[in-house]
């Protein structure tokens, strides 16, 4: 069992209190680590260190900050096996997937480093003679990042890299389910020579997280998490009018037209639904299939689900791994049972396995209705409800009749249909003839209850800035 320490001001430090966060391997249910829950004083010290460090960090040229990020990207590659091993053990991912997540995190770090010469302001014409208006982009200050459990390595760097390149410093609270990979990343941060206090990684309880989110020295809170967590952050941000960037729930609809490549669509949809055991905010969560191909497509979905067994991915990386914990599994199973009570037909899965580990089989439900909970609420697990439609306008109306608007999918070979959906879908992302993957040069932002602000690309980087207008009279 590993014993972790918090990372504050470039030092790994123990806690003055005896409160420990226990970390379990979700594939075996074994206790694998103990992490000190920071005290209020320790968390406040991390904020103070970040505040002090930001004064010097913001004064570096952006190209100097970019060099630091390039060094961090190199260090992540050098530490990828350690980070990957920690992530695999605490998340149930295969070692290959966990290591690849670290590589992908290094790539987004390098991507944002390359923005060093592109953080642009504007020169605006003035109404007054002999005067220029200069709109500058400036850092916000100290950013608190609340990182989720499902892709904790990638999401941490997805937030850290744009925050640092724009001149901010950061206090990171990793998920209590997957904190060990964050501390492995902290070793890479130290090895890369990032100055003291610029990045702090601190495990904590919810009350302590509230304390740092409402601290007057914090200028921004960035969260990837549930709608409930997003509401909490909005409450916290009101205290000091801190900026919030929230990537929240999703309920990705996939529309399958009769002219689609059905075998390709079925394979990719099941791949999306079972990747990381469905614990992905952009995973396909509901499928609308044209009535002309409905029966055939259900057969293909069922066939692909049968070919996706679950199990410990250290034994077979092709297995679908576990859910994060027992509560998640129980909540998902209860949703399936309620759907069946409401008339859904169980085609595959739908049971709690007897073996150790928080596994749940890939589950397919047909005869679903739009008003069912299983269609309206985010499942965040390997359960797929399927619905039938007659015309594309009906499918669009059903897809848009929802509280979420993060990602969406359409399978069709008709470009008119594709463009109609692209123009009328109420979601931040539309994927045509493929499932979501969040390209980091794009902009990952949700509509409706799926969030505020966004991540990735130029616009994700600019989330970490504020503007200053300089009125220059000459």
Q: Running DSSP on this structure, what letter comes out for residue 406?
A: S
Residue 231: what pLDDT? 97
pLDDT in tens, 425-466: 999 999 999 999 999 999 999 999 999 999 999 999 999 999
Residue 2: what pLDDT? 87
Ordered by where they begin, the domains of the chain are: 2-248+450-473 (3.40.605.10), 252-440 (3.40.309.10)
Residue 294: what pLDDT? 98
Q: Are 8 and 200 in contact (CB under 8 A)?
A: yes
* C-alpha 120 chain-centroid distance: 27
For the question of residue 247 being annotated catalytic, the response is: yes
**The one catalytic residue among 281, 285, 368, 429:** 281
For residue 414, the tally of other CB atoms under 10 A from its CB is 14
Residue 307: what pLDDT? 87
How far is CA 44 from each of CA 16, 140, 459, rounded to the nearest angstrom?
13, 18, 30
Q: Are 218 and 144 in contact (CB under 8 A)?
A: yes
pLDDT in tens, 458-467: 999 999 999 9
Q: pLDDT class for 272, splitting at 50, 70, 90?
A: very high
What is the chain's mean pLDDT, rounded?
Answer: 97
Residue 68: what pLDDT? 98
How far is CA 39 from each of CA 64, 88, 135, 208, rounded to the nearest angstrom?
34, 28, 41, 7
Alpha-carbon distance 262 to 433, whole Å? 10
Can you count the helices (H) and strands (E) in the chain? 15, 23
Q: What is the pTM of this model?
A: 0.96
pLDDT in tens, 309-342: 999 999 999 999 999 999 999 999 999 999 999 9
pLDDT in tens, 215-233: 999 999 999 999 999 999 9
Phi, psi of 111 (to 5 degrees): -60, -50
| β-strand partners of 124 | 133
Q: Are 399 and 374 in contact (CB under 8 A)?
A: no
Q: Average pLDDT, stretch 189-216?
A: 97
Alpha-carbon distance 473 to 143, whole Å? 34
Kindly state the tokens that stand for 156. Answer: 């941490």
Check pLDDT > 90 for residue 102: yes
Residue 273: what pLDDT? 97
Kindly state the tokens that stand for 35. Answer: 């992490």
**Contacts of residue 228, Cβ cutoff 8 Å, sequence gap at least 6:** none
| Largest Cα–Cα separation, the chain | 79
HSE-up of residue 347 (Cα within 13 Å, Cβ side): 21
Residue 208: what pLDDT? 96
Quickly tell me which residue has 């034994």 as its tokens. Answer: 315
Where is pLDDT greater, at 413 or 1?
413
Residue 14: what pLDDT? 81
Q: Are 54 and 135 in contact (CB under 8 A)?
A: no
Quickly tell me which residue has 């009535």 as its tokens. Answer: 291
> Could you give the 3-state DSSP secondary structure of residue 257?
coil
Quickly tell me which residue has 């100097």 as its tokens. Answer: 64
Residue 353: what pLDDT? 96
Check pLDDT > 80 for residue 18: no
Q: Running DSSP on this structure, what letter comes out for residue 263?
A: H
**Contacts of residue 162, Cβ cutoff 8 Å, sequence gap at least 6:** 112, 115, 455, 460, 461, 463, 464
For the question of residue 210 being annotated catalytic, the response is: no
**The one catalytic residue among 247, 268, 378, 429:** 247
């Amino acid at each position: 069992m590993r014993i972790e320490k918090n990372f504050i001001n470039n030092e790994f430090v123990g806690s003055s209190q005896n409160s420990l966060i226990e970390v379990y391997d979700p594939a075996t249910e074994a206790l694998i680590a103990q992490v000190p829950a920071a005290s209020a004083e320790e968390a406040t010290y991390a904020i103070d260190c970040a505040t002090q460090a930001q004064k010097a960090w913001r004064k570096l040229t952006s190209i100097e900050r970019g060099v630091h990020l390039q060094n961090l990207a190199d260090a992540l590659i050098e530490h990828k096996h350690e980070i990957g091993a920690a992530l695999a053990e605490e998340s149930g991912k295969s070692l290959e997937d966990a290591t690849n997540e670290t590589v992908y995190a290094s790539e987004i770090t390098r991507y944002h480093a390359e923005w060093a010469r592109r953080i642009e302001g504007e020169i605006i014409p003035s109404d007054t003679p002999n005067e220029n208006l200069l709109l500058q982009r400036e850092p916000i200050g100290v950013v608190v990042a609340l990182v989720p459990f499902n892709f904790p390595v990638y999401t941490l760097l997805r937030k850290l890299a744009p925050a640092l390149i724009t001149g901010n410093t950061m206090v990171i609270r990793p998920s209590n389910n997957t904190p060990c990979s964050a501390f492995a990343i902290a070793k890479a941060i130290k090895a890369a020579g990032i100055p003291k206090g610029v990045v702090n990684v601190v495990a904590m309880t919810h009350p302590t997280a509230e304390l740092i989110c409402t601290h007057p020295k914090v200028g921004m809170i960035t969260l990837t998490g549930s709608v409930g967590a997003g509401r909490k952050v909005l409450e916290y941000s009101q205290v000091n009018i801190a900026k919030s960037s929230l990537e929240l729930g999703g309920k990705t609809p996939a529309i399958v037209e009769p002219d689609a490549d059905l075998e390709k669509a079925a394979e990719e949809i099941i791949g999306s639904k079972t990747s990381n055991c469905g614990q992905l905010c952009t995973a396909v969560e509901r499928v609308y299939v044209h009535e002309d191909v409905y029966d055939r497509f259900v057969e293909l979905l069922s066939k692909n689900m049968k070919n996706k067994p679950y199990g410990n991915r250290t034994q077979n990386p092709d297995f679908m791994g576990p859910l994060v914990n027992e509560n998640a599994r129980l909540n998902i199973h209860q949703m399936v049972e309620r759907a069946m009570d409401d008339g859904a037909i169980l085609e595959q899965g739908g049971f709690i396995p007897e073996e150790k580990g928080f596994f749940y089989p890939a589950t397919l439900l047909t005869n679903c209705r739009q008003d069912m909970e299983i269609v309206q609420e985010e499942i965040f697990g390997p359960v797929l409800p399927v619905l039938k439609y007659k015309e594309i306008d009906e499918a669009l109306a059903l897809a848009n009749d929802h509280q979420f608007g993060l990602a969406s999918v359409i399978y069709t070979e008709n470009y008119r249909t594709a463009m109609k959906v692209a123009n009328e879908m109420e979601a931040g992302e539309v994927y045509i003839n493929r499932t979501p993957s969040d390209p980091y040069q794009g902009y990952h932002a949700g509509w409706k209850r799926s969030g505020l602000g966004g991540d990735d690309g130029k616009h994700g980087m600019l989330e970490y800035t504020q503007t200053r207008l300089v009125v220059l009279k000459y």
